Structure 1
Amino acid sequence: MAACIFCRIIKGEIPCFKLFESDKTLAFLDINPLSQGHALVIPKFHGAKLTDIPDDALGEILPVAKRLATATGAVNYNILQNNGRLAHQEVDHVHFHMIPKPNEAQGLGIGWPQQKTDMDALKALFEDIKSKM
């Protein structure tokens, strides 16, 4: 944790453009923005992946992201959270991006490579996941 850049930001060791702070949550502007207003919302509890964070440390995350979207005036925006290197996570501390998408050139650019639907496999997956919820 001592090397975690977000933990260092939380402790005040590294400055940030702080937009919101409470005992459990911090929101600040991204220093490598994809568009104007690109911000990060992080739990103050350190964990690399979403499943590492206790539920009570996540309660403010989406309300704060919503407030950021409203405050920036974004009409189109992405709320993004990645888990693991294959999923494009670069900092091993859970963080949510609020990325305004003002036009085609700015903001998040992604594609969705859909897979062919196999209804039997989809039903089996549904039953498996539902049984674990």
Structure 2
Amino acid sequence: MNWLGIIGDALWIVALAMMAGASQRAWRRIEPGTRLPMQFARDGRPVMRLPKAAALLLVPAIAFVTSLFLLAQNRAIPPGTPEALILFGVRATLAAAFALAHLRWLEAAMKQLAQEGALKP
């Protein structure tokens, strides 16, 4: 095990924890049976909606599967090689990108639900 692998694992753990925590807080505020907007048109109106459970778990689940794939790739590369450094950069960038994408989507979805009155007080 090399240091880049450990730091990459830690970054994914932090990103997944942030996504899970934000989804959990949103779950508590959203009324049961609400369908969350998943995709927005250019004018800001929701185009596609999913049930609450599917919507809140979709991006974190995809991120988790991606992290497992990158973890397996990391274990197959010998430490101290240029490939290990490149893979660390990919892992760090993707962890941050998934977390930011999920948090930005969640913010937009919660604003839309607040306008519709679908949030608990």
Higher strand share: 1
Fold agreement, TM-score > 0.5 = no
Tell me the TM-score normalised to structure 1 length: 0.23
Higher helix share: 2
